[in-house]
């Protein structure tokens, strides 16, 4: 169980690291109407 929790944590950390340069807000508005302050 502990190993599974660590595996999930590592997977999420790696996922966030690999997708850190992606602007997720741009998917909702193709024209860039939504601006995050």
* Per-residue pLDDT, 32: 55
- From the list 14, 37, 35, the residue with the least C-alpha distance to 25 is 35
* Per-residue pLDDT, 18: 85
What is the DSSP-derived secondary structure letter of residue 2?
H
- Give the whole-angstrom CA distance, residue 17 versus residue 12: 8
Cβ atoms of 24 and 34 closer than 8 Å: no
* Per-residue pLDDT, 19: 86
| Three-state DSSP class for residue 28 | helix
* Per-residue pLDDT, 30: 61
| pLDDT tens column, 5-31 | 999 999 999 998 888 877 767 766 666
* pLDDT(37) > 60: no
* Per-residue pLDDT, 14: 93
């Amino acid at each position: 169980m502990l190993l599974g929790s660590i595996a999930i944590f590592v997977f999420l950390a790696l996922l966030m690291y690999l997708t850190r340069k992606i602007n997720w807000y741009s998917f909702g508005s193709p024209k860039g109407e939504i601006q995050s302050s």
